[in-house]
Amino acid sequence: MVVLDRAQPERAVTRSDRVAIIGGGASGVLTALQLLSSSDDSALCVTVHEASGVLGRGIAYGTSDPRHLLNVRARHMSAYADVPSDLLDWARRAGRDPDPLGFLPRMEFSAYLQDTLADVADHRLTISAGRVDDIVPVGDGFELRTRDRVATADTVVLAYGNQAPQALAVGGVDLAELPGYLPNPWDLAAIRALPDDAVVVIVGTGLTAIDTAITLLEDSPRRSAVMVSRHGLLPHAHIEQQSTAWVSDVPTGALTADGIAALVRGQVAAARAHDVDWRNVVDGLRPATQSIWGRLDLSERRRFLSTYVRDWEVRRHRMAPEVADRIRGYRRDGRLMVLDGGIASVETRGPRSAVRLADLAEPVLADAVVNCTGPLTDLDRTTDPLLQALRSRGLVAPDPLRLGLDSTLEGEVVGRDGRVVPGLYAVGPPRKGTLWESTAIPEIRTQAAEVSRLVLGRVAATQ
């Protein structure tokens, strides 16, 4: 495995061929892959700015726990849409015997991204360690400012992935003031350092909460946890994939949230009548999801978010079967409770936190409270220095639903004035408000390819 983890010096470039990618997780690596593999221009310079200096990890794949598995089957996780076997081929070359329908450890996918980028990396690629805190328009390009240097670029791709979870407060009490509060659920060292008999409250019931529970409970059989959210819904599990495909016939023209919900219910019922599982219906809708989202007006999108979003997401983003088996085992053994209703109140009791939950008569005396509520998406509430700077400069603006930043369907960033910012693009989760389906590898690799074509076209036009 080749790990690209060393900062290289900035190069002086006299042509308009400098492309900066902000973020070295999956979105950034897939964009760099597309740029380098789609152009034979020897003068093209691509710099990936990654705070850690290590590419391919990010939040999603930076885990060090091999029990954290992908939630998409291996055969669908290739970095290249036109080479669907690429991940499986890599795994075989690395001495593994991958199951195309199986779910690889997340940390192995990180290694795959690193090796795949290394295969196309040459003198055109620079990896710059350090956090970019500001981007300033200068002439037809940009200055990228870090704590100790200034770099220049003609084109910038924002590929910063998901932000950290939002701060939590209950009844006016900031949970950060509680003893044992863990704001970062991906800090596995902090979770592993908890007492062997720790009682932990996990706030959130999504895939991040699932991974947190596995690290916490699998490492010590004496630990226990209470997982809580407003709805108390866990992601459903994948099952052995059926050969019968089920593709829904989506009506043309404008759509409504209620209409789409009725369509899905009808298709699930029809599939059941043919002994086809509902998962096939959800997966059959996936290629049409972005089109469906685009045909919902703003009020209907809000209706979807207020009424249907969680029911959809627990079916769309599912657990690997092995993961689901672990969670069922913890619940069966009484080590994990999953509750709805959220947190009613919190207070400090000595070295622990007293967390009162709606469905329990007595508060939980927790050694730790872990924030697994999901990434903060509202740019107006972000604490990220770069996003704050871009927001204040008017280079980015929140999308109307505050699910990310405003952008065109093609990935051009739209500024505060409502106009496209020339030379500024986005790939990945920040485009969720525009595309909805924007967080999984199959969609991100498509975005990376589309943005790369725009960027290379811009480079060619300036030569």
| pLDDT, average across residues 343-365 | 95
CB 386 within 8 A of CB 133: yes
- Range 86-113 average pLDDT: 94
Q: Rounded CA gap, 167 and 183, in Å?
A: 8
Interval 435-456: pLDDT, tens: 999 999 999 999 999 999 999 9
Confidence class for position 11, pLDDT limits 50, 70, 90? very low
Contact 239, 277 (CB under 8 A): yes
pTM here?
0.93
DSSP summary character for residue 250: P
Edge-to-edge strand list for the sheet holding 343-349? 343-349, 352-357, 364-366
Question: pLDDT tens across 265-307, in order?
Answer: 999 999 999 999 999 999 999 999 999 999 999 999 999 999 9
Handedness of CA 147, 151, 152, 157 (dihedral sign): negative
pLDDT exceeds cutoff 70 at 28? yes
Amino acid type, 56: G
At residue 203, the pLDDT reads 97
- Proportion of the chain above pLDDT 70, given as a percent: 96
What's the token pair of residue 74? Answer: 């291996």
169-236+318-371: CATH number? 3.50.50.60
pLDDT tens per residue, range 121-134: 999 999 999 999 99
Mean pLDDT, to the nearest integer, of 72-79? 94
pLDDT tens, position by position, 216-240: 999 999 999 999 999 999 999 999 8
Ranges of each domain in the chain: 18-164+376-462, 169-236+318-371, 257-316
Gap between the Cα atoms of 415 and 409, Å rounded: 14
Name the nearest CA neighbour of 195 among 226, 169, 164, 216: 216
Please tell me if the domain spanning 18-164+376-462 has the same topology as the one spanning 169-236+318-371: yes
pLDDT number for residue 17 = 64
3 pLDDT exceeds 70?
no
Q: What is the CATH code for 18-164+376-462?
A: 3.50.50.60
Mean pLDDT of 164-177: 91
